[in-house]
A and B are shown apart, each in its own frame.
Chain A
């Protein structure tokens, strides 16, 4: 059957990377369709009218949105190289941590990057409160999913490429050797994986992008004070 798989994305969206990594692990050929989020294509708006966001997976003309939903779909459609645990309890646990990552960890880490002064101090405390769970989850494991990269590792992929960018721009260390030896080891193992390497956001481009983003935030915060 002639499969047609397209991924609507941007070059940097951490949510889109999850989708392309999953497709790569399963050896599913796909086409990248890059969007400019300041000028969304009519096709993107047609495929994701509810949220108007990337990523969107279009499989044989049928669109799907929300990266964690897409990952489950990819797993159920292409059964080679399973990325999810087989056991329902382990699957529920993986889903729990993925949601925790998106609902709590990512916003708190982004808060550390964006905020200033006392608000940043508070954000750092919150971020550590969340990150410690990741460190605990890695106990006795090479990857969040066990011996091999799986769903939860893909969900946390942004930790491996974004956090150090935030740290460099702001001149701070969030994931330090003392508190997070396992997480740092995971980052290295994740980055070293040959399939993950096939799709990786260029670091210098990320630095430029987030520096610019910071620049656009600060005047707004100053204006709101």
Chain B
């Protein structure tokens, strides 16, 4: 089957990483194009005119946008290998709910840690801790969010592991001390090739953010 798969992405993007992991899980060959978000390519503007953001998956010339939508698309098209979502409708809904929770909360509370003015730092920290506490509770004693196997919710959250050092520095906290189950889960995920090969080193991400946001 002559499939042409291109991924428009930016290497530090936690959203792009989700797609890279999904593609790797399914063993899909693709062309990776790195798009610097401060100098967007014509291709990006053409393929995602509405949001002008990465990631964009271009499958046989047709663009799919929004990382969780792309991951579901990948799961539905390449359905014969490594299912990323469970087959039971209720479990699927559960997975979609939690991935949506990650989208609604994690990026924003993380970003607030370094964007916030000093007076609001305490509130930002509180929101951050509450969000990850909720996730730690949801994970519970399960090896993965989906249960026995790595899946949709794990993919949606694991990419943020690359920011844990960033969170620790700006939140003045220890992720391992606050959320031992989450950190253990992350290390478990990192034993998977798709995750280990995708996630950039935490220090590299930290240095990138310091430069990108002029935080030095």
B97 touches A64 (CB 8 A): yes
A129 → B minimal CB distance (Å): 10
> Which of A50, A66, A73, A92 contacts B90 (CB under 8 A)?
A73
Interface band, chain B: 20 to 34
Flag if A99 contacts B69 (CB, 8 Å).
Answer: yes
Most interface-central of B59, B72, B76, B97 (chain A CB within 10 A)? B97
Task: Say yes or no for B64: interface residue by CB 8 A criterion.
Answer: yes
Closest B residue to A49 by CB, please name it: B134
Which of A66, A70, A77, A92 lies in contact with B73, CB distance below 8 A? A92
| Contact status A77-B89, CB under 8 Å | yes
A123 interface residue (CB < 8 Å to B)? no
Interface size on A, residues (CB 8 A): 23
Closest to B100 in A: A66
**What are 5 of the A-B contact pairs (CB < 8 Å)?**
A73-B92, A92-B72, A99-B66, A100-B50, A133-B50
Q: Are B73 and A72 in contact (CB under 8 A)?
A: no
| Residues in B neighbouring A64, C-beta threshold 8 A | 90, 93-94, 97
Decide: A72 and B69 in contact? CB cutoff 8 A.
Answer: no
- Using Cβ atoms and an 8 Å threshold, which residues of chain A touch B50? 100, 133
Which residues of B come within 8 Å of A, CB atoms? 50, 59, 62, 64-66, 69-70, 72-73, 76-77, 89-90, 92-94, 96-97, 100-101, 134
A91 touches B66 (CB 8 A): no
Q: Are B69 and A88 within 8 A (Cβ)?
A: no
Whole-angstrom CA separation of A27 from B134 in the bound complex? 36
What residues of chain A lie closer than 8 Å to B59, measured between beta carbons? Answer: 89
A91 and B101 contact, CB distance less than 8 A: no
Chain B residues within an 8 Å CB radius of A65 = 97
CB–CB A96/B101 < 8 A? no
A96 with B93: CB separation less than 8 A = no
Known: A50-B134, A89-B62, A92-B69. A69 touches B89 (CB 8 A): no
Chain A-chain B contacts (Cβ-Cβ < 8 Å), number: 54
Determine if A62 and B90 form an interchain contact, defined as CB atoms under 8 angstroms apart. Answer: yes
Per the 8 Å Cβ criterion, residues 48-105 of A in contact with B are 50, 59, 62, 64-66, 68-70, 72-73, 76-77, 88-89, 91-93, 95-96, 99-100
Alpha-carbon separation in the docked complex, A55 to B76 (Å): 27
User: Using Cβ atoms and an 8 Å threshold, which residues of chain A touch B62?
Assistant: 89
Closest 8 CB pairs of A and B: A76-B89, A73-B93, A88-B76, A92-B73, A69-B96, A92-B64, A77-B89, A95-B69
Q: What residues of B have a CB within 8 angstroms of the CB of A92 in the complex?
A: 64, 69-70, 72-73
A174–B96 alpha-carbon span in the complex (Å):
34
Q: Are B73 and A50 in contact (CB under 8 A)?
A: no
State whether B100 touches A69 (Cβ < 8 A).
yes
CB pair A72 B96 closer than 8 Å? yes
Task: Report the minimum CB–CB distance from B58 to chain A (whole Å).
Answer: 11
A27 → chain B closest CB, angstroms? 18
The residue from B77, B93, B101, B134 contacting A72, defined by CB atoms under 8 A apart: B93
Q: Do A69 and B64 have beta carbons less than 8 Å apart?
A: no
Task: Return chain A residues, CB-CB under 8 Å to B101.
Answer: 50
Q: Closest Cβ of chain B: how far from A176's Cβ, in Å?
A: 22
Cβ of B72 and Cβ of A96 under 8 Å apart? no
Q: Are A96 and B69 in contact, CB atoms less than 8 angstroms apart?
A: yes
Bound Cα distance from A131 to B77, whole angstroms: 30
Which residues of A are found within 8 Å of B69, using beta-carbon distances? 92, 95-96, 99
Question: Which residue of B65, B76, B93 has the most chain A CB atoms within 10 A of its CB atom?
Answer: B93
| A69/B73 contact (C-beta < 8 A), A92-B64, A99-B66 known | no
Quick one: closest B residue to A94, CB to CB? B69
The residue from B65, B90, B92, B94 contacting A96, defined by CB atoms under 8 A apart? B65
Residues in chain A near residue B90, CB distance under 8 A: 59, 62, 64, 73
Quote the shortest CB–CB distance from B50 to chain A (angstroms).
6
Which residues of the partner chain B approach A91 to less than 8 Å between Cβ atoms? 73, 76
A70–B96 CA distance with the chains assembled, in angstroms: 9
Given contacts A88-B73, A93-B64, 5 further A-B contacts (CB under 8 A): A64-B90, A64-B93, A77-B89, A89-B62, A96-B64
Cα–Cα, bound, A52→B113 (Å): 25
In the bound complex, CA of A100 to CA of B70 (Å): 15
